[in-house]
Amino acid sequence: MTDFFRVSNLTKNFGGVVAISDVSLVVREHEILGIIGPNGAGKSTLLNIVAGFYPQTAGTVELKGERLDGLQSFERAHRRIARTFQRPMVFPNLTAQQCVASAQIGKRMPAMREALFLRRHVASDKRQRMANAAAILTRVGLLERIDALASNLSHGDQMLLQLAVAVSNEPELLLLDEPASGLNPTELEKLRVVIQGFNEEGVTIMMVEHRMELVMSLCHRIVVLNKGEQIAEGTCTEIQNNPHVIEAYLGTRKTGCA
Ligand SMILES: Nc1ncnc2c1ncn2[C@@H]1O[C@H](COP(=O)(O)OP(=O)(O)O)[C@@H](O)[C@H]1O
Ligand SMILES: [Mg+2]
Strand partners, 10: 23
- 3 has a pLDDT exceeding 90: no
- Ligand 2 centroid to Cα of residue 129, in Å, is 32
- Spell out where 16-70 has E strands: 17-27, 32-36, 58-63, 66-67
Nearest CA to ligand 1 atom 25: 40
Atom from ligand 1 closest to the CA of residue 42: 17
Q: What's the CA dihedral at 83, 89, 94, 100 to 10 degrees?
A: 10
Q: What is the pLDDT of residue 115?
A: 59
Of all residues in the chain, what percent carry a pLDDT higher than 70?
92
The CATH architecture assigned to 5-250 reads: 3-Layer(aba) Sandwich (3.40)
Residues near ligand 1 with C-beta < 6 Å?
14, 17, 19, 37, 39-45
Mean pLDDT (whole number) for 46-75 = 95
pTM exceeds cut of 0.85: yes
Residue 94 binned pLDDT confidence (cut-offs 50, 70, 90): very high
Q: What is the pLDDT of residue 150?
A: 97
State which amino acid sits at residue 94: L
On whether the CB atoms of residues 74 and 65 are closer than 8 A, the answer is no
Q: What is the pLDDT of residue 214?
A: 96
* DSSP-derived secondary structure letter, 114: G
Q: What is the pLDDT of residue 135?
A: 96
Q: What is the pLDDT of residue 163?
A: 97
- Backbone CA torsion sign across 184, 32, 45, 228: positive
What ligand is nearest to the CA atom of residue 20? 1
State which amino acid sits at residue 72: Q
What is the rounded distance in angstroms from the CA atom of residue 149 to the CA atom of residue 132? 18
What ligand is nearest to the CA atom of residue 19? 1
For residue 184, the SS3 value is coil
At 104-126, the pLDDT tens digits run 876 555 555 565 666 666 667 78
Mean pLDDT, the chain, rounded, equals 92
User: Which one of 10, 13, 17 would you pick to mutate in the ligand 1 pocket, going by the greatest count of ligand atoms within 8 A of its CB?
Assistant: 17
- 2 has a pLDDT exceeding 80: no
At 142-193, the pLDDT tens digits run 999 999 999 999 999 999 999 999 999 999 999 999 999 999 999 999 999 9
Mean pLDDT (whole number) for 7-32 = 97
- 18 has a pLDDT exceeding 60: yes
* Helix pair 155-166, 118-139: axis angle to 10 deg: 130
At 60-73, the pLDDT tens digits run 999 999 999 889 99
Q: Provide the CB-side half-sphere exposure for 238 (13 A, CA).
A: 11
